[in-house]
Chains A and B, each alone.
Chain A
Amino acid sequence: MAEMKTGLAQFTNVVEKIADNKYLLGDRLVEIGVSGPRLESTLSAIAMAQGELGHARLLYSWALDLSGFSGKKPEIESQTGKAFQFIEQVDDWVSLIAALYTVNASVDIVLNAVLKAENTDIVSRIQKLIREQKEHMMYTEGWIRQLREDSKPVQQKLQQYLDAYTLEAAEWLESLDADKTLQEGGYLSNDSALAEQLSQRLQKTAVLN
């Protein structure tokens, strides 16, 4: 049990950060997604918003459990302040897709590293989440492809957003790589190299066409 305590606070922060990102992304998906370029893309954006907000709710509840909270859990009315700053700047379809991609890719990388650590209590909490997130990833990659085939200004705008957003995500992943308590506590697999994985995904995305 003592081993589990190592890195627990850091892991709780990770769970809260993912929850915050999903909470804000859900909000942006409704706000911007509702005026998506196609009926199907709008319907999917709203469905994904429900998914993201549902994930956020589960993760906030889990973070409270991890921090030893007992009793009736409070209603979540705002994020805890750990979300990526770029999500709040999302104000059009292209920035929404870039933010969706960045958040989904980085969260996916972290959750898979957590899954690889094979902590049974944690694995049961995130397996469904990872599965549901795959569809979000497919949607986002599909739209990245569309925007890369669009007019030159749209392509450039997308690239500018991706460059800026992934920088912030990479900083977060680097900080997790550097924090060895997460690995020592059995919360992250030892060989994860999270920032490197994001860089590889981005290279793959750069040739998505």
Chain B
Amino acid sequence: MFAQQVVNAISLGSVYALFALGFTLVFGILGVINLSHGGIFMLGAYAALLLLTRFEIPFWTALPLAMLAAGLLGLLIDVLILRVLRKREAPHLMPMIATIGAAILMTSLSQGLFGSETRRFPLELFDQESFSWGPLTIPVLQAGITALSVLLMLLMIWVLRHTRLGQALRAISESPKAAALLGIPVERLFHLTSFAAAALGGAAGILIGLSFDAISPFMGQPMLHKGIAAIILGGLGDVRGAVLGGLFLGAAEVFAVTFLSSEYRDALSFGLLFLVLLWRPQGLFGASATRSA
């Protein structure tokens, strides 16, 4: 049973990690907690569902199209809301509140458009089988999600560390003003970041919709809570931290159920989160407050 629970922990953690990736990217570069990420995550899943069922587009075409749709939505939120607030140099709380509004709008809109019931992707799409390995059963799709979130993390780290784009983004996250003085097109990169983060969020929505029976207008909110916990735990704005934070949270939840009781699952996993933050207030990978230049 223990080995199976380890598998369960990794699979649950990857779901959180996948969601947290885009979430942390926006914070890292824009310095904004974008609370509409849950809404984008949800609409990404609906976009794919529409493409698959209404327009009968094959999955491997629908996936990038739905990611594109989610990305454009993120871009729209950046242009309509975040850019305006940036221009006014609004304090940190403002974009948070504004994006809560955007999230509520998206939820209500999708309730009106798609109805409030839970939907799922056509089951025939993917092999719903699980493979057995000794006493372990591993659902194929979830192994895929785990592999994908690790892959996306490595890709993002590589882009941030080893490309000119990454250099520019890191410069912006250090100081947008200094980056602008160096000739970096800050505003355009903000847009690009919002687009990429939203596309990732949309992808997370689609993948989670694939492996769980869970596409509904309300799917974003609970995931947002876990996502916030994961990125705070991992260190705000850090890509490795988001993935490890997600995995940590998943493991904490699963082992709370395994060794204690599911009644106290959330109390235990968030209690653990609290203890980690006491020990490392900046999160597992967060840069310390006193940073040497």
Chain A complexes with chain B? no
Which residue numbers of B lie inside 8 Å of A, CB to CB?
Answer: none
